[in-house]
Amino acid sequence: MKFCDMCGSYMEMTDEGYSCPRCGYTIQADEIEVRRIKDSQVEAIHVVEKREDDSLRVNRTCPRCGHNEAFRHVFMTSGEHAGVKQERIIERYKCTKCFHSWTQS
- pLDDT by residue, tens only, the chain of 105 residues: 688 888 888 888 887 788 898 898 888 877 665 667 666 666 777 777 766 566 789 999 999 999 999 999 998 889 888 888 889 899 999 999 999 999 986
- pLDDT computed for residue 44 by the predictor: 76
DSSP 60-79: ---TTT--S-EEEEEEEEEE
- pTM score: 0.47
Q: Give the C-alpha separation, 90 to 20, whole Å.
A: 50
The 8 Å CB, 24+ separation contacts for 15-21 are none
Class of the CATH domain delimited by 52-104: mainly beta
Fill in the DSSP letter of residue 55: S
